[in-house]
Chains A and B, each alone.
Chain A
Amino acid sequence: MKYGWRRLAAAAAALLLSAVFFGCGAADQPADGAEKVRLMVWSPSEDQSRDSGEWLQTCCAAFADQHPEWDITFVYGIADEATAASSIAQDPEASADVFLYANDNITIMTDAQALVKFGGKYEQQIRENASEAILNSVTMDGYLYGVPFTTNTWFMYYDKRVFSQEDIKSLEAMLSKGVVSFPFTNSWYLPAFYFGNGCTLFGDGTQEELGADFGGDNAAAVTDYLVDLIQNPNFVVDADGSGMAGLRDGSVNAIFSGSWDYGSVREILGDNLGAAALPVYTLDGAPRQMYSYSGSKAVGVNAYSEYMVPAVELAIYLGSAEAQKLHYELRSVIPCSTELQDDPVISSDPVFIAQNETFDNTSKLQPFVSRMANCWTPVENMGKSIRNGSVTHENAAEQTKAMNDAMNSNGIE
């Protein structure tokens, strides 16, 4: 009895050690000459859930069938497109071989040297299946870093009973007919007005040295316009989900959001749901087009992967037209493959039309240069200050300059 404790402790330690050393001792037996391959794949949980059709498992199984030369064991993990990058940068060696990511996170992973550049025949295969604009969203310094499978941007949902096809082309026409809710204090949305009047971020989005150009007379004119706009009783600020709540109780007739809200909007508006690219607004008597930020979601491959060829091939398969079509059918993920543009079912989907039109015509590629990180807060503060009334016609120019200065500084230098 005296040594009972010690014996117990020794047993526990031995157990722990054996778990550490032999914990993952799966048997390694090649099945009729096929090469043993272990691929870890990450995706959002919806892609793996039974209720939404197990897109990832289905695709991986189909991929394994196409490649009998590999005996693939798939290990699935949950990481959505927005957060996958930071998990991979944290520890690339213990991360997925193939994963889905949002293109604005590219630099997080390239800084950690964890993202594979596609080249040769693989690059060609990817290029054949996607438009130039989308490829640009995953290209950096001339290298292609992913297989894009959907575009990522925001557009307009509206109630067809309130606005006609003609109305939705102009914000002013819409405001005279019904209530429009806009995420005014969110810096992913507010720059739409500034882009409309010739403001730019980092030149074409990749020229970091040019900085943000949200100053000058054209930007001040936009601020001036926004001060008036916020006074309009039919223009309400969408914050913390108030736009969706307004749509639900009928006090709002149009909101600006993306495909992720399609299910909720569909449930509220039913057949009266309309989706469209962004309208123009009228400044100094002339129409100015609003531009949203756009990006894409893509399949990436980990540079630390032990099984590089299977991983790259799987990534290309997950971004192929076939996989995109299944993704659309199971989860309404809007495809971007050029092959699917003429598909009768997909091309009649209002969200597909709205999102693609927005991407092609009324959006600016969201810059992913690292100085972009300084640009979010000043714009958000501008939105809040206009809403609070602390920005007026008198100080609009001065406040706009202050915003531009803040966007071009990291607050430390």
Chain B
Amino acid sequence: MKSAKMKRRRNNMIVHIILAILAAIWVFPIFWVILTSFRAEKGSYVSTFFPRAYTLDNYRKLFTDTTILNFPKMFMNTLIIAVFSCILSTFFVLSVAYCLSRLRFKFRRPYMNMAMVLGLFPGFMSMVAVYFILKAVGLTEGSMIRLALILCYSGGTALSFQIAKGFFDTMPLAIDEAAMIDGCTRWQIFTKITLPLSKPIVIYTVLTSFIAPWVDFIFAKVICRANADQYTVAIGLWKMLEKEYIDNWYTCFAAGAVLVSIPIAFLFLRLQKYYVNGLTGGVKG
């Protein structure tokens, strides 16, 4: 008895040590970025891991020195784009998933196959075509660029309905039928019954569609071009690492990177448990 307990304990200890080492390795780069964001010494290269002096100036500069790289503006641009494309794409994804899970129509199979095939190609393949289409309808100038980016990020999301559909499939059809007998329309079933029952997947969709605009660089770069007032944070951070700016802006770049991760980290922490539920539920179906 005692030896079995000892053995389990020892095994647990080994496992935890390995996990601790792995966790340290994973967290290491993030930790380094955070340290760099508080570093007082300038420049992109340091010979010590820990900064010699700490300061908040990098954050201050990011928000006050706005004549060359206007970070607050970029942050707001990205936030607006993220919020709207999050709302739109969540609606798209859930609607498509619901239709494909509950309704039976001729185009259902072909649509799912098509979505699968299209999903195999990387999105930025269509980049140049998307740019010219947006230009043709006049969305590539001035503040219309924001709308263009929102459309870009939310337009294609209906193709990634699989996880949500899998989740909806696990819900018994009997509930829908009961509601229909009581006189519910499809829309009412969707909003009053299906959605409240599928909080995890709603939240999972919200999360993924909120993150997309924050981390996307390539579409923003192609569509913004010379319109600096429409830049998103991804472009701004990239600019800071260019030859002319890197020596002065490197620590600010780290500060910017930390700030960008805050909204995402906050959302994740708040919605974590649903996220896990959503994924496992989807896979089950």
Which residues of A pack against B, CB within 8 Å?
19-21, 23-24, 42, 44-46, 49-52, 77-80, 82, 84, 87, 90-91, 94-96, 240-242, 244-245, 248-249, 260-261, 263-264
Contacts and interface: CB of A to CB of B under 8 A. Distances in A.
Contacts, number: 89
8 contacts: A49-B68, A77-B225, A82-B243, A90-B222, A94-B225, A241-B247, A244-B247, A249-B47
Contacts of A95: 225-226
Given A80-B242, A87-B225, A50 B45 contact: no
B68 A245 contact: no
Given A245-B43, A245-B45, A249-B47, A24 B68 contact: no
Nearest to A77: B226
A77 B228 contact: yes
B119 to A, nearest CB: 26
B70 to A, nearest CB: 9
Contact of A51 (B67, B141, B144): B67
Contact of A24 (B41, B45, B46, B138): B138
Contacts of B248: 263-264
A350 to B, nearest CB: 19
A87 B225 CA distance: 6
Interface residues of B, number: 33
Given A241-B247, A261-B247, 9 more contacts: A24-B138, A45-B67, A77-B227, A82-B243, A87-B225, A90-B222, A241-B246, A245-B46, A245-B47
- If over half of A's interface residues share one DSSP class (helix, strand or loop), that class is named, otherwise mixed; here it is helix
A91 B225 CA distance: 10
B228 A80 contact: no
A46 B68 contact: yes
Contact of A241 (B45, B144, B225): B45
Contacts of B47: 245, 249
B138 A49 contact: no
A8 to B, nearest CB: 14
A174 B97 CA distance: 70
A45 B45 contact: no
Nearest to A46: B68
A85 B140 CA distance: 18
Contacts of B227: 77-78
A309 to B, nearest CB: 23
Contacts of A23: 138, 141-142, 144
Nearest to B140: A94
A90 B43 contact: no
A51 B64 CA distance: 12
Contact of B131 (A44, A77, A91, A241): A91
Contacts of B45: 240-242, 244-245
A241 B250 contact: yes
A46 B228 CA distance: 12
Given A91-B135, A241-B250, A78 B67 contact: no
B128 interface: yes
Interface string B22-50: 00000000000000000001111111000
Nearest to A264: B247
B69 A45 contact: yes
B222 to A, nearest CB: 7
A333 to B, nearest CB: 11
Contacts of B243: 82, 260
